Structure 1
């Protein structure tokens, strides 16, 4: 495996820092864009990027807070971004598009690119899949894909209900039955809307799992749910990213 920090061209032509991990070998293979969670472009997220390389994908994570705090500690950068209301949706879409374009430019690429994210990144994964040419998307407990942010919520976000008709890629959703954002009701609404729209999707909810059940460094970690979720992610991406693009 090879890992490196690079610069990609993101939204509005901006140069953005990104973390890239690639397995050895010539390919061809698919690529995965990892969208970091609200705490930022941190060690845990980079470990996820490396995990996808271990699974046989070229994987990249753009630093969504690079403009606010280039080179800053992830927690400081996250605090700065939250104080500004979070990452604007339009900018997120542009940065993911730039990351996907970089993956497709690699000589090992088979032309297929997926996206995945946790928490705020889960919502952003769905958002990106509504606007970027992607082949698969994974939403791990993304808040406010449906539902309404409460008054005083620190991020300037809306739900994605009106954008769901534009969803371009099959969606895998992994949720905790004990989560509140998204709650089981939010997940059921999303399932119903995607079914009505005829959008291919596959949802799994885990009993006893709260928000952030994938996070190995938090009390919310649920190994059984996380391990099953990783197996489902691997199978989902193998199904949608393994074939050679046209």
Structure 2
């Protein structure tokens, strides 16, 4: 899909899938606004984007568990552009440990706030810019942990709770924004390997049915959904698990 002229916002862009998406969007001509918990992490990806494709990418610090930084991120983007065409809600804290006592109260609160509240606030504060796009998309990286009776992950119950809340928000958001022509696309992948999008071996030829899901495959789904005509609303992608 060609993203030339599109303005794309990516949270959690300092590493993993957010970084991979930023690099690919840059190659496809997007104007990027990237956030991570620290501005140094976001700036590192922005510099990689510039070196890789020459695309323009601005970096911001945004802790999704802190409402003030979410507002500041949106305000910073609004000061530099009059619209957002694609908002990618990728950032969220992962918390390991199947027992409730595997994490302290602060880590539990931070996990739920970053994954659930952070997504809600990001959409809220970017919505004015999405509405000026004339054809915007909101992409949510949820998790198979949000699917009913999915018990495969060893994530902490707080992570399950955060992703379930994010999924519920995405569902009602899709229904309520559709009349405005804003699509809400949610992905429910199991654990997947990040890979390195700059590595020559990170391609389709290296993937088989026996391998774990890769970030590239998840990214391919995002690009496919974004590339559909505006009368096509793909609400979600669910993945078969080994």
Of Structure 1 and Structure 2, the greater strand share is in 1
Aligning the two structures, in what range does the TM-score lie when normalised by the shorter sequence?
A: 0.3 to 0.5
TM-score (normalised: structure 2): 0.45
TM-score (normalised: structure 1): 0.45
Of Structure 1 and Structure 2, the greater helix share is in 2
